[in-house]
Amino acid sequence: MNRHPVSRILLSLLLLSLLLGACTQPQPVKPRHPTLGVVEFDAKGIKRVILRAGEAAEATATVSEDETASPVIKISARPAGGAAGYHPADPHWRETPATAWGMDFAASRFGSTLVISTKNEISYIHHQYLLQDIHISLPSKSLRLIRQPRQLNGDGAPDLSRP
């Protein structure tokens, strides 16, 4: 009769050690989505849009044909890049996929000008994370789009400085 509680405790300890061992193993990061999705910014009172991105010069733009919709600027992109060629001493290090790097768009308004900048785009030694296939949809033909390519470095902070 005394063995029964002891065997239960030993079995519980064995299962606990297996669970803890499984939890400490590195897990692969699964991409949430292949594209960044659509980010929207209010366009009321905006006459000029400045796009700052590593690949701003290649960005495509269209004018929305739905004149009844509220004035919104829509922007989307595809996260790309990685840390190819980087081989740290840590055997458990895994490269972060571009879709999990946290790239996004941020904006700041200066009167009738809206500055839209990429966030967390970097280019530093072996780490190259950028947004490609940028597409911006403008609510009106009267909005002027200015593309300003960013010189990427190791700081992924958005460039929301005054134009």
**Residue 58 belongs to a domain:** yes
| Assessment of whether the complete model's pTM goes beyond 0.95 | no
**Residue 97 belongs to a domain:** yes
**Residue 132 belongs to a domain:** yes
**Residue 23 belongs to a domain:** no
Q: Tell me the residue range of the domain where 74 lies.
A: 37-149
Are 139 and 65 contacting, i.e. CB atoms less than 8 angstroms apart?
no
If one counts the domains in the chain, the total is 1
The tens-digit pLDDT sequence of the chain (163 residues) is: 455 666 666 566 555 554 444 443 333 323 334 456 789 999 999 999 999 999 999 999 999 877 667 899 999 999 998 877 776 787 777 778 888 889 999 999 999 999 999 999 998 887 888 999 999 999 998 999 999 999 999 999 999 999 9
**Residue 86 belongs to a domain:** yes
